[in-house]
Amino acid sequence: MHKLVPAALAALLCLPATSCILAVGAGAGYLVSQEVLPNDVLQAQVKLDVDTVWAQAQATVRDMKVGDFETTDYPRRIETTVDRCDVEVVVEAYDLNRTIIKVQAERFTTSKEETARKILNRILDDLGVDY
């Protein structure tokens, strides 16, 4: 058994550097679950660290926003306007390398699930997560 470990390591070292990078990147992040919570809050759980998701969520929403853009770091929350809807995006650490993204969009106290879904899907796309 001990002879197999050095052989496996030697085989990995013989691979081109690009194949090693692709192998590591292939499992970098994926969608664990996606659901609609009460009050039409869309939630997705991804297998990525919270800091990566938080930075990307801010960049994505900043790109989509119309009007003011407010963030708080604790809790990680973004408030802005998209498609004439008041939008709130919350990013929470769930576990080691697992993060929850919650998106809610309202217009005149009416939920706009399609706007929330558009924002959530754009964040997931920008993270490179398949859903």
Domain with residue 99: its CATH number is 3.30.310.220
The answer as to whether 86 is a domain residue is yes
Predicted pLDDT of residue 123:
95
E-only strand ranges, 8-126: 31-37, 41-46, 69-73, 76-82, 85-95, 98-107, 110-111
The answer as to whether 10 is a domain residue is no
Number of independent structural domains in the chain: 1
The answer as to whether 61 is a domain residue is yes
Q: For 57-70, what is each residue's pLDDT tens digit? A: 999 999 988 778 89
- Burial of 48 (C-beta count, 10 Å sphere; 0-12/13-18/19+): buried
Predicted pLDDT of residue 19:
32
Q: Check: pTM over 0.85? Answer yes or no.
A: no
6-20, 27-41, 68-82, 106-120, range with the lowest pLDDT = 6-20
The answer as to whether 121 is a domain residue is yes
The answer as to whether 8 is a domain residue is no
Domain boundaries, position 56: 29-127
Separation of CA 18 from chain center: 25
